[in-house]
Amino acid sequence: MKCRVCRGPAVIDVRRHNANFCGEHFLRHCRDQVAKAIRKHQMLQEGDRVLVAVSGGKDSLAVWDILLDLGYEADGLYLGLGIDGYSPESERFARAFAESRGLSLEVVDLPSDYGYDIRSAARASKRVPCSACGLSKRHLFDEAAGRGGYDALATGHNLDDEAAVLFGNVLHWQGEYLGRQQPVLNAGDGFPRKIKPLVRLGEREMAAYCVLSGIDYMVEECPMAVGNKHIGYKEALNSIEERSPGTKHAFYFGFLDRAADLFVPSADDRIAIGACTRCGAPTGAEVCAFCHLLERSGGHLPEDAQAVPVKLGRRGPEDL
Amino acid sequence: MIIQLRNPQRTVEMEGPMAVTALLVRLDIPRESVLVIRDGTLVPGDAMLGRDDSIEIRSVISGGAR
């Protein structure tokens, strides 16, 4: 196998592009794909400050690394989920990455800052753990991005994630969710701009990016996610991709080009957004879903609601 | 050769030499879902693995709330 660019020995094949790359040109390929996604979907402008939602896994560390490489000012926020045997280790990877590069990483811990963990929240709210986790992450990352004055919140969602979510939403014709499945959601109604710079890269590419860049990441899967529907959708799509490379890309980007607009609600259909009476977060109800989750889980808002993410962007590596 | 697999963590032993693609077929692992790593370096699909090699087959599929 020879590198498509330099004809030197290749270390990885990307069958979707019918291309092989050496290490150096593969890393360039990843950066180019992220730059293309940012440009094409107008995710960021020069000088924008970005908050990266960091989990300690391959995707979030890679997107942080690439955004910095492309010249953006990017800080990280890690959310400790209180999952035994998983959260402490993933936090260690997030901290080590930030420390090795002198980056600003804020850590919010659900058990100590909010008085609950994902397992207890799932049980109390009768949600599956991934649902309680997703709700917590969306609320706390949004809040932190707003409080820190960031121009955008970046997540590590990659092509496999987006194709799998699309697959699940199409199987069940979840019109509301399909209307939000864009690589960028603009700021509005109190929500920050949300961007997914990795949508042009598969998760195998992101894992390879980390190996070739020397980024040490949490390889072990979250024990609560094992066997969930999302992973099942990924396995089904990978089985198709194996026989027909490029299928995931065609599925997701075909949706964006030809169908996504059909699911975006018109101005008349949008629900009115106000402020949660407890925490002030934007919501279509009197009390937001996060505060309901807190209530059912026996959790609480931080005593000083301004204290948790307030240091974002102001920490030096010596504080990590 | 000794092969370490992740998620879940386990080790298997196989006779070498063998091509990477043949090894993945033998283990019934889709190429799209893993990386093959030898001595900290990625190994491409057409590479031959030696009988004394230590190999990691690393799953790249992650799920859950993102």
Residues A65/A215, Cβ–Cβ less than 8 Å = yes
Give the model confidence (pLDDT) of B3-46 as tens digits. 999 877 899 999 989 999 999 999 999 888 999 999 889 999 88
* pLDDT averaged over every residue in chain A: 92
What is the reported pLDDT for A318?
42
What residues of A are in contact with residue B6 (Cβ under 8 Å)? 219-220
Query: Can you tell me the distance from the alpha carbon of A111 to that of A275, in angstroms, rounded to the nearest whole number?
Result: 25
What is the reported pLDDT for A305?
58
Phi and psi angles of residue A191, each rounded to the nearest 5 degrees, phi first: -90, 145
What residues of B are in contact with residue A289 (Cβ under 8 Å)? none
What residues of B are in contact with residue A221 (Cβ under 8 Å)? 7, 59, 61-64
Q: Which residues contact B39 (CB under 8 A, 6 or more apart)?
A: B54
ipTM value: 0.93
Question: Residue A310 — very low, low, confident or very high, per pLDDT cuts 50/70/90?
Answer: very low
DSSP A150-217: -SEEE---BHHHHHHHHHHHHHTT-HHHHTT--SEE--BTTBPPEE-TBTTS-HHHHHHHHHHHT---
- Burial of A124 per CB tally in 10 Å (0-12, 13-18, 19+): middle
Query: Can you tell me the distance from the alpha carbon of A287 to that of B4, in angstroms, rounded to the nearest whole number?
Result: 49
- Burial of B38 per CB tally in 10 Å (0-12, 13-18, 19+): middle
Spatial CA neighbour of B61 closest among A213, A129, A161: A161
Which amino acid is residue A8, in one-letter code? Answer: G
**Does CATH number 1.20.950.20 belong to domain A39-266?**
no
Spatial CA neighbour of B50 closest among B24, B9, B14: B14
Query: Can you tell me the distance from the alpha carbon of B24 to that of B14, in angstroms, rounded to the nearest whole number?
Result: 12
Question: Residue B64 — very low, low, confident or very high, per pLDDT cuts 50/70/90?
Answer: low
Give the model confidence (pLDDT) of A32-85 as tens digits. 999 999 999 999 999 999 999 999 999 999 999 999 999 999 999 999 999 999
Query: Can you tell me the distance from the alpha carbon of A147 to that of A284, in angstroms, rounded to the nearest whole number?
Result: 20
How many C-alpha atoms does A37 have within 13 Å on its Cβ side? 27
**Other C-beta atoms lying within 10 Å of the C-beta of residue B26:** 11
Q: How far is B15 from chain A (nearest CA, A)?
A: 23
Q: Which residue of B has its CA nearest to A3?
A: B44
Listed by start position, the domains of chain A span 39-266
Query: Can you tell me the distance from the alpha carbon of A17 to that of A201, in angstroms, rounded to the nearest whole number?
Result: 11
In this structure, of A151-155, A182-186, A271-275, A306-310, the range with the lowest mean pLDDT score is A306-310
What is the reported pLDDT for A314?
40
Q: Do A235 and B61 touch (CB under 8 A)?
A: yes
**Mean pLDDT over residues A210-228, rounded?**
92
Domains of chain B: 2-59 (3.10.20.30)
Q: How far is A293 from chain B (nearest CA, A)?
A: 16
Does residue B54 register a pLDDT over 60?
yes
